[in-house]
Structure 1
Amino acid sequence: MTFDEDVTVCVGRNNTGKTSLAEVLSRFLRPGEISLRLEDFSAESYVEFAEAYRRFSKGDEAEARTLLPEISTKVFLAYDNSAGEYGDLGPLIVDLDPDCTQAIIAIRYALKPGAMKDFFRDAPKTLTGEWGESLLLSLVGPRIPHLYERTAIAIDPTDMTNFRDISMTNVARAIKVDFVKAQRGLDDEKERPKDQIGKILESLFMVAAKADDGSILKDFADSTENALEEIVEKLNTHLQEMYSRMAPTVSEFGYPGLGNKNFSTRTTLDPKRLLSNFTSIKYPGSAGVELPESYSGLGSRNLLMILLTLFSYYREYSARGSKSSVHLVFIEEPEAHLHPQMQEIFIHQLGVFKNKFPTADGEDQSWNAQFLVTTHSAHIANRAGFPAIRYFRLSESEDVHEASSSTILNLAEAPGVDKDFLHKYLTLTRADLFFADKAILIEGTTERIFIPAAIADFDDARQKNGSISLSSQYVSIMEVGGAHAHIFYPFLDFLGLQTLVITDMDPAKVGSSSQRLEACCVHEGTATTNQAIKKWFEDSALSPADLLKNAEHSIPVIGMRGLAYQIPETTIDGPCGRTFEDAFILANPTKFNLSSADGKPTPQIELDAREEARKYKKSDFALTFAIEQKDWKVPRYIQRGLEWLLDQAPAPENDEETAFLGEVPSVGQVAVR
């Protein structure tokens, strides 16, 4: 995964590994000891523990170590080789090539050397099926936190066999990692009674106290401590006087006792804790009444807390001096409690903070921050832009015993995609495609109003039969128009999103007075003017008869895309609508007094339906039958399309919590690749 220089936005439906990515990088790149459990390993690796044990039990410890699962990450750092001084990056640079501009570090969480015998202690001599493997996992699982360790090496980009061991302190100095969690403790006053924003002020002061001498931050911290020392001195004098007056009374009870040792009073005020314990945020109210922090709206408090947290992270970074290092800041679901416009403004301004924060501090140095934002907000995805978006595509396994894994896609690398058009289009609408289980692309206003009603009718019929329904899945409906649907084809294929394209056949024939194609009924047509259909079949010479034959038994399908256009309600030779309105009328003839059509030739029936459709405005037609009237039949081409879309069922989304030890691995567990 490549990080954007400023802001990278991770999108995808639930349980695809967005938070897992942030968690693994946060844990692996931070200093100190880490303790991972069996549940932190991909379910795909469970069988490898058994394979490693079988090798070990046969005396082949070297091969067993190569098979034993580990968790690892490799980080590539780009740098300016003309900088002269590399600062904290220096220990990570192994190569001697003056033209090289990359440093590589590899971090492993693997079994300690010489610990394999202890790791497999008391394991059964033979493993029988899944029961034996589950028993082995129950034995080795609790030993992982104690017998596994994290190690790091720096690798030569010009020679991958050349590397050297480095400490996690070296890594942490070159890559600072911070995390803004989604659960920020703002919406539960009973469980978290202390003001959360006041705590951030404490961290800001602590950073200032550690700043270099002569800096603005250090001067502020020193002046605060000096002011508190004066207060403490006056307070101590006053308390000692109070005790002196109280002492005779205390002595009547035999105190101070042994050796007549007396006591004196001393008060200590820690400025580092004072801001947290005794400083609160107040908002101006009416008539001079100030309102506490918890009385402000959650949205305002959430935004203020994120900004102050980021500012405190910047202060910690700047206090380290001008040494070369990168600052990774993970922000989880910033959209919480923010209205849509504020979400878009936030993601737009996030990259600007890199310059604004140093300016606010009067500093000349830049903040080398890279933000990784995980989100489920279409508004944030809209504003971010294609180059910054990383889409997490879940690769589902058909085997229930195998884990699912996610592939991280860089939208800027999508082949054959008109990125400018799509970004502008998604910005004007909603980027729901990034978070949907499935999608339906439609032409215009009529379908946009009618399709949700058709889905509701479709689901109602299935639920009566005890079948699953589309309403149990997140289906995004996007209006793209017949002239633009084909532009989405490469993009949909890249996302790997199950999509139904509903479009009109739009038959046409050469006009009698000109050589131009003119709209006509289906059985009179010699061609189609629909670009979405032409691009689908990659054949501009297809006739309506060809299209009907291609869709006679099922809808046309390419990969994960299905195409639904008008077909006859009865046999292939029966009357067929050219647009949605025509098809709806032919599917419900009695509602339009066309029941006497029996015996008429097919072209005449199609023409009657077309003339009837012309009596309605498109929006009025859809509103009438989607809202006012309910007793109607869904046109057959839409019915078949919805059935196809429902049959392409995604894997069930399991709870984010991992399975209990020894359970059969479930398909909901995710391994990020």
Structure 2
Amino acid sequence: MRIEFVEIANFRKLISTRIGLSADKTVFVGANNSGKTSAITALRYFLVDRERTSFCFNDFTLSHWPGIDGMGAAWEAAHVAQQALPEPEWDAFLPFLDVWMQVEENEVHYVQGILPTLDWAGGRLGVRVRYEPKDREQLQKDYLTARADARDLQTAGAALAEEKGQDAAKFQVAIWPQTLVEFLQRRVTRYFTIHTYVLDPSACVDPLHGRAQPQPLNGNEPIDGDPFKGLIRIDEISAQRGFGHAGESSIDEGEASGSGSTSRKLSSQLRQYYKSHLDPYESPDARDLLALKAIEEAQEAFNVRLGDGFESPLKEMHTLGYPGVTDPKLNISTRLRPVEGLNHDAAVQFVVPMQAGGASINLYLPEDSNGLGYQNLISMVFRLMAFRDSWMRVGKAQSKASDDAIIPPLHLVLIEEPEVHLHTQVQQVFIRQAHKILRNHDQLGAGSNFVTQMVVSTHSSHIAHECHFDSLRYFRRLPASEHAIPTSCVVNVGEAFGGEQETKRFVTRYLKVTHCDLFFADAAVLIEGPAERILVPHFVNSHAEFDKLAESYITWLEIGGSHAHKLRSLIEKIGLTTLVVTDIDSQDAAGFSAAPVRGADYTTRNHTLKTWWPEIEELDALLDKPEAEKSKDYAAEQFTLRVAYQCPIEIEFKGAVTEALAYTLEDAIVVGNIELFATLPGTGLIAKFRTAIADSADFAALSAAMKDALKGGSKAEFALDLLEIDNPSDLKPPKYIREGLLWLAAQLEQKQTELGLVAIAPVEAEAVADADAGDGVAA
């Protein structure tokens, strides 16, 4: 048994999204504000029982708010006109989570309460958990009453103004509630609750263009009780882990914190673990007898000492006439509980060995003295062990369980941003070992009777690179359509390559070796070689016209034109805006590398230009390609790709105006900056180019001289030398790079506009203070 996928609808940015879960671990990746946190929060709110009261109205997808207000306006119009009220039509707006599981026929005893039909014989099962009105008619009635009260108050204000002979506008204020949305921002927890429904596996269909197609309920009746009780155990480690000094913890140190507690103190977790699994007072066995005997003897000895210590104060009380003959006498005794030995800041200490006078001694520091990284790592690992042992009922947890309670066959563990405070190597170790820790039990391991599925959200490229592509789920931001807001869809990265295992292997290794942050970027720039890798970002940082790029999250991937096309399937799958900066790589009819010449039947050797875009091999056609046609729009995927390669430019050299055809980045830079290089001091290629400019009679001679110079020169050294130019803005980028970067800047500006069309209106301060509003964060 395992969760195959979940579908989240109408929850924050996730208007209709399917998220497939891997058999062991699933990692959510994506750029900022792409919906990763929304997905983890949805799983928590819908599945963790104690979190179900955490909903607030801001969890409803923003694009539905006008429709909800329209429904409220229709109610009010009918009510004012004394007509029959329209039926409350909430179904299209309600947040819900569909959980789809694969269950074997021999596991039917776990799922009897959610079987769709009596003849079900194994396979897919689905349950919908929906946040919906408790009583739709009562909600409608109370809203109309609130609106009537608001209108009456406005009328009274106008009458008062007329009575005082003042302008009625001075008495007109926005009385709550103006709309149904405004009403629910204060009252949603009063009128809404969680209900669950059985789904029909035969009506489950695949997503269309990345958008889930959840089935309608068609009048289904909700299930009584919790369908996941005894079926799924859910634990979580949230991003808010409360790290810092001991005084910052909001957890009462005298109370047991649950599995979802935000307490980061290891002593608190140890105390809870002790109570659950080790306490000798709970169903003692033979191994506990020695401990209980020692506690009893210590308690008796302490009682004797207490009696001696309080003898004088008690005698002094006798002078007050208490206790008298008939009064009960005072007796002071102690009760030792071993768990209290962990109820202090020094319960957990770190040992620091040191040498003093030739002797080895140990110094002890409290846990707060350890680095935040190790505190976080130790805390998370221990919580994973505690989750596992509570699930498997290790130690005293077995005796606490009721006789008829069964161990749920499925354990779902949610971990939010484990990389907090961890340096990169520890991040990688954690993601490699976390699932193994959750399975480190005699009944688990590689067995299939009990299944552990771990879901992790992260912003760390190091964690992403440590995971197999099949476990990555890329959250992609979708631009807003007209009169709507931006939403997100989820891409299974493992499906990007189809059956092309060789390409998948290359991309996996390449991304891991280069440590790129492709899965977290706003855009990608694929560049040809080390010189481009150095200089293209330098151009961006040195010229004000590229400021938009400097403000954006861009990943720079150094990959040659002969390999860039191998990233095609991945980039098209995740829909990432991409600029490919490459060389034209011209060759003559015999297939030998040659400087570009028009009308010579030359072609390009560049696989990206031949097979990806613009899918042209003839050199003349590439040179004549208009700039507007160098980009490719992916309408269905809603993103754009552009290629930038050396293009003809018109220059004046030695008194003659000519068309310059560059062959590499280096000669393109020189051609665009001839006046600068004519006097630029330096050695290596800079000196050779300076000499070539001085000695060449025309551009043809200069082109030949530059080609000869590049044969024996170091391109990377040349790029580094250019970084030392006193005024970086004096070095102009080649035309093809400049136009490509300006295109990318325009794309990102348009994208940011589309992703930010609607701002969330702040809830009134009065509403925040209202007890009915509940807690929540804007989507």
- Shorter-chain TM-score bucket reads 0.7 to 0.9
Question: What SS does structure 2 have at the residue aligned with 1:248?
Answer: helix
- Aligned partners of 1:426, 1:12: CA distance in 2, in Å? 15
Is residue 2:4 matched to residue 1:4? no
Deviations 1:52-94 (A, max 9, x none): 22343436656423467321111112122234x634x432334
- Aligned partners of 2:175, 2:611: CA distance in 1, in Å? 53
* Pair 1:364–1:539, CA change in 2 (3 A): closer
Alignment of 1:250-649 (within 5 A): 250-256=317-323, 260-272=327-339, 274-277=341-344, 280-285=347-352, 286=354, 287-319=361-393, 323-358=407-442, 368-397=451-480, 402-414=484-496, 418-458=503-543, 460-461=544-545, 468-510=547-589, 515-523=590-598, 526-537=602-613, 539=615, 542-552=617-627, 555-559=630-634, 560-570=640-650, 574-590=659-675, 591=677, 592-593=689-690, 600=698, 603-628=700-725, 630=728, 631-649=730-748
Which of 254, 272, 281 in structure 2 is aligned with 1:203?
Answer: 272
Residues 30 and 474 in structure 2, CA contact (< 8 A), matched pair in contact too: yes
Larger mean CA deviation between 573-582 and 439-448 belongs to 573-582
- Aligned partners of 1:53, 1:502: CA distance in 2, in Å? 53
* Pair 1:218–1:457, CA change in 2 (3 A): farther
Which residue in the other structure is 1:666 paired with? Answer: none
- Aligned partners of 2:340, 2:89: CA distance in 1, in Å? 49
* Pair 1:218–1:475, CA change in 2 (3 A): farther
Q: Normalising by structure 2, what TM-score? A: 0.75
Question: What SS does structure 2 have at the residue aligned with 1:65?
Answer: coil
Which of 40, 44, 52 in structure 1 is aligned with 2:63?
Answer: 44
Q: Normalising by structure 1, what TM-score? A: 0.86
Deviations 1:26-54 (A, max 9, x none): 12112255242222211112112212223
- Percent identity of equivalent pairs: 26
Deviations 1:162-219 (A, max 9, x none): 96643454424322221112232233455249870111112212321699999xx977
Which residue in the other structure is 1:86 paired with? Answer: 109
Which residue in the other structure is 1:112 paired with? Answer: 134
Offset of 1:353 from its aligned partner? 1.9
Q: One-letter code of the match for 1:636?
A: K
Give unpaired runs (5+ residues) of structure 1: 463-467, 664-668
Is residue 2:172 matched to residue 1:142? no
- Aligned partners of 1:398, 1:169: CA distance in 2, in Å? 38
Alignment of 1:212-223 (within 5 A): none
Question: What SS does structure 1 have at the residue aligned with 2:489?
Answer: strand
Deviations 1:531-552 (A, max 9, x none): 1110134646x32221111145
Residues 177 and 183 in structure 2, CA contact (< 8 A), matched pair in contact too: no
Which residue in the other structure is 1:73 paired with? Answer: 97
Which residue in the other structure is 2:680 paired with? Answer: none
Residues 504 and 565 in structure 1, CA contact (< 8 A), matched pair in contact too: yes
Which residue in the other structure is 2:211 paired with? Answer: none
- Aligned partners of 2:288, 2:704: CA distance in 1, in Å? 84
Offset of 1:140 from its aligned partner? 2.9
Which residue in the other structure is 1:465 paired with? Answer: none
- Aligned partners of 1:223, 1:109: CA distance in 2, in Å? 53
Deviations 1:496-543 (A, max 9, x none): 111110000011112xxxx43333334356100111110134646x32
Residues 17 and 406 in structure 1, CA contact (< 8 A), matched pair in contact too: yes
Which residue in the other structure is 2:124 paired with? Answer: 102
Offset of 1:470 from its aligned partner? 1.1
- Aligned partners of 1:269, 1:658: CA distance in 2, in Å? 55
- Aligned partners of 2:220, 2:183: CA distance in 1, in Å? 35
Which residue in the other structure is 1:23 paired with? Answer: 41
Give unpaired runs (5+ residues) of structure 2: 1-18, 152-173, 204-216, 254-263, 355-360, 394-400, 635-639, 652-656, 678-688, 766-776
Deviations 1:325-362 (A, max 9, x none): 32111111111222222222221222222332448x99
- Aligned partners of 2:724, 2:63: CA distance in 1, in Å? 49
Question: What SS does structure 2 have at the residue aligned with 1:651?
Answer: helix
- Aligned partners of 2:72, 2:57: CA distance in 1, in Å? 16
Q: One-letter code of the match for 1:409?
A: V
Aligned-CA RMSD value: 3.6
Residues 156 and 162 in structure 1, CA contact (< 8 A), matched pair in contact too: no
